[in-house]
Chain A
Amino acid sequence: MMKRKANWPVMAFLILGLTTIAFPLYMTFVIAFKQPTEMTNSISGILSLPKSWSLDNFREAMRVTDFWHSLGNSLIITLVTVALSILIHSLMGYALGRNKARSKFYGFVYLFIVSGMFVPFAILMMPLAKQTAEMGLGNWFGVVLLYVVFYMPMNVLLYSGYLVNIPIALEEASRVDGASTWTTYWKIIFPIMRPMHATVAILTALAVWNDVMTPLIIMAGSNQNTLPLAQLNFQSQFGTNYNLAFASYLLALIPILIFYVVCQKQILNGVVNGAVK
């Protein structure tokens, strides 16, 4: 009985805390649906529910920010990066994880790549802007390649850490059966690492989807936008029409909100796995 009662202050604290999360979202939602004429200077004018639920702001915001193109670019960049990360980083994690303890060369390569985690983007961005332009990679594919390189340290660390738990006897058994190392990897090791693939996919997808800096620097001359980049580039066009701006913000948030609602459990697991490992 005592214990049950003592929990009400905790619940009250949590519900109060939740309003700090709900309020900005509520504000975004109502402003996005309103017309500029409804935005009187008082708080109640801004925060009350809109008089009519019209989708005009959204239609206009989609046109101004070229929404579907930006969404398409964001989707392609995220999906290709995640796919390549799972393929390339798991292979690298395997090669390094299995050899780093026995061979000086692999041990060095492992440290070399993992220490890439300490390199801030700030030092790479100016040379990379030049380099990708020189190589003709100032486009979405260049951005994908850079992501594959940036997230390699973290993901190789995760994969080779996970590999420690997979007994090498599994591979030896398959080798006795005459399978090559390559075949063994794809047939046995790659499927076994599935939980880690999920973690890597979630972490990489969240980071890539919300990233502004890399596309800002690499795709600057390409007239192409990702969803966040479109918000940045079209900010001036909203002027003082905050209703239009907020419709656009809400549009930019909706895909990730849907993703979060659908895969909430996997996302929470993935994030915890990635951080704690």
Chain B
Amino acid sequence: MKNERKRTFLLITIPILALFICFNTIPLIRGVVYSFTNFKGFGSYDWVGFRNYIDLFSDVRVGKSYLFTFKLAIVTTVVVNVISLMLALALNSKIRAKSFFRGAYFLPNVLGALVVGYIFNYFFTYILPALADMAGINSLSTSILSSQNTAWIGIMVVCAWQAIAMNTIIYISGLQTVPEDVYEAGGLDGATGWKKFRYLTFPLIIPFFSINMVLCVKNFLMVFDQIMALTKGGPAQSTESISYLIYNNGMSGGQFGFQSANAVIFFIVIVVISVAQMKFSSRKEEQL
């Protein structure tokens, strides 16, 4: 009887594990192996040891893509979390048509990022400059996507537009776990407005804050669709995210080996950040 149970579990686990290894572990290992070669994506190749890795650190384009991706991820994470928290507080207060508002505010999240990107592309290129002209704001009279200094803002707006929906819903479910009597007790102590939020509400929803931070940072570091739809890395390679650079130069630019090394470094960066975030947030939660 016991053996039958054991055998069944093994028969379930082994094939599924094999599938996972075949399409996750093996390509991962192959990616690491390619990173030590000068493979172009086709034809023969040679081992080059750590040369790709050494070159990576002196490659201006790679450096720029890391700077851009981190700038985008950090700024967008802050913007998204501030706005979502405000929205969640508003949506959780006593208002009319609550479920309508909640449903409407989540809508952007179910739409495909690529098509949303195309729609915003048109908005930034034609509508926004025309609106700015009417309002007499000269600095906005050309498309923000066509300037090296402002193109990233366009990408941030599109990323935020969709991510706010997701984070707001998570914050709302966090706010719902705060029992009503906490506020009543706080009200007796004279906690109102910002103080009430800072000392009563926020500490209680810190677990949800950590979820949102982890989700945001990870998603924005891997940004791809929005870049594809809005700028294709331009102007002058100022908005190349790491994923976009790996895709663009690795798949069709003949840098298969070199970009594999880039991907390995990116993988390590993601793991380090994720582990650090989880360590940090579990420590925060313990303190409470």
Binding site for B on A (CB under 8 A): 3, 7, 10-11, 13-14, 17-18, 20-21, 24, 27-28, 31, 41-43, 46-47, 88, 91-92, 94-96, 98-99, 106, 109, 113, 116, 118-131, 145-146, 148-150, 152, 175, 180-182, 206, 209-210, 212-213, 217, 227-228, 231-232, 235, 242, 245-246, 249, 252-253, 256-257, 259-260, 264, 267-268, 271-272, 275-276
Residue of A nearest to B262 (CB): A122
Which 4 A-B residue pairs are closest in the complex by CB-CB distance?
A127-B27, A123-B263, A210-B112, A127-B30
Within B207-224, the residues touching A (CB, 8 Å) are 208, 211, 215, 221-222, 224
Contact A125 B130 (CB under 8 A): no
Contact A268 B112 (CB under 8 A): no
Contact B274 A118 (CB under 8 A): yes
Contact B5 A181 (CB under 8 A): yes
| Distance of A206 Cα from B127 Cα, bound (Å) | 30
Give 26 A-B contacts (CB < 8 Å), ordered by A residue.
A7-B95, A14-B90, A14-B91, A17-B87, A27-B119, A31-B122, A46-B127, A88-B19, A92-B13, A116-B20, A120-B263, A122-B242, A122-B247, A122-B267, A123-B264, A124-B28, A126-B34, A131-B27, A181-B4, A206-B110, A228-B225, A242-B122, A259-B110, A260-B110, A267-B110, A271-B169
4 further A-B contacts with Cβ under 8 Å, apart from A14-B91, A41-B130, A228-B225, are A91-B16, A149-B19, A181-B5, A246-B122
Contact B131 A43 (CB under 8 A): yes
Q: What residues of chain B lie closer than 8 Å to A120, measured between beta carbons?
A: 221-222, 243, 263, 266-267, 270
| Distance of A95 Cα from B246 Cα, bound (Å) | 37
B187 to chain A, nearest CB (A): 12
With contacts A122-B247, A180-B8, A228-B112 known, is A268 near B103, CB below 8 A? Answer: yes
A33 to chain B, nearest CB (A): 15
| Distance of A276 Cα from B9 Cα, bound (Å) | 28
Q: What residues of chain A lie closer than 8 Å to B225, measured between beta carbons?
A: 212-213, 228
Residue of B nearest to A213 (CB): B224
A26 to chain B, nearest CB (A): 11
Most chain B C-beta atoms within 10 Å of own C-beta, residue among A42, A127, A182, A210: A127
Within B228-266, the residues touching A (CB, 8 Å) are 228, 242-243, 246-247, 250-251, 256, 259-260, 263-264, 266
Contact B101 A14 (CB under 8 A): yes
Q: What residues of chain B lie closer than 8 Å to A275, measured between beta carbons?
A: 166, 169-170, 211, 215
Chain B 1-29, CB within 8 Å of chain A: the 1/0 string? 10011001100110011011011101110
B188 within 8 A of A: no
Contact A125 B251 (CB under 8 A): yes
Given A91, A149, A175, A257, which contacts B24 in the complex, CB threshold below 8 Å? A149
Contact A7 B93 (CB under 8 A): yes
Contact B16 A232 (CB under 8 A): no
B120 within 8 A of A: yes
Given B12, B161, B169, B266, which contacts A20 in the complex, CB threshold below 8 Å? B161
Residue of B nearest to A47 (CB): B127
Q: What residues of chain B lie closer than 8 Å to A246, measured between beta carbons?
A: 119, 122
Residue of A nearest to B265 (CB): A123
With contacts A24-B120, A46-B126, A206-B110 known, is A126 near B134, CB below 8 A? Answer: no
B18 to chain A, nearest CB (A): 11
Contact B115 A253 (CB under 8 A): yes
Most chain B C-beta atoms within 10 Å of own C-beta, residue among A116, A125, A264: A125
Residue of B nearest to A267 (CB): B110
Given A47, A128, A152, A175, which contacts B20 in the complex, CB threshold below 8 Å? A152
B54 within 8 A of A: no
| Distance of A42 Cα from B107 Cα, bound (Å) | 29
Q: What residues of chain A lie closer than 8 Å to B107, measured between beta carbons?
A: 21, 260
Q: What residues of chain B lie closer than 8 Å to A98, measured between beta carbons?
A: 9
| Distance of A20 Cα from B27 Cα, bound (Å) | 42
Within B112-131, the residues touching A (CB, 8 Å) are 112-116, 118-120, 122-123, 126-127, 130-131
Q: What residues of chain B lie closer than 8 Å to A126, measured between beta carbons?
A: 31, 34, 41, 246, 250-251, 256, 259-260, 263
| Distance of A262 Cα from B13 Cα, bound (Å) | 36
Most chain B C-beta atoms within 10 Å of own C-beta, residue among A13, A150, A181, A209: A181
Residue of A nearest to B15 (CB): A88
Contact B31 A121 (CB under 8 A): no
Residue of B nearest to A105 (CB): B13
B96 within 8 A of A: yes
Q: What residues of chain B lie closer than 8 Å to A14, measured between beta carbons?
A: 87, 90-91, 95, 101
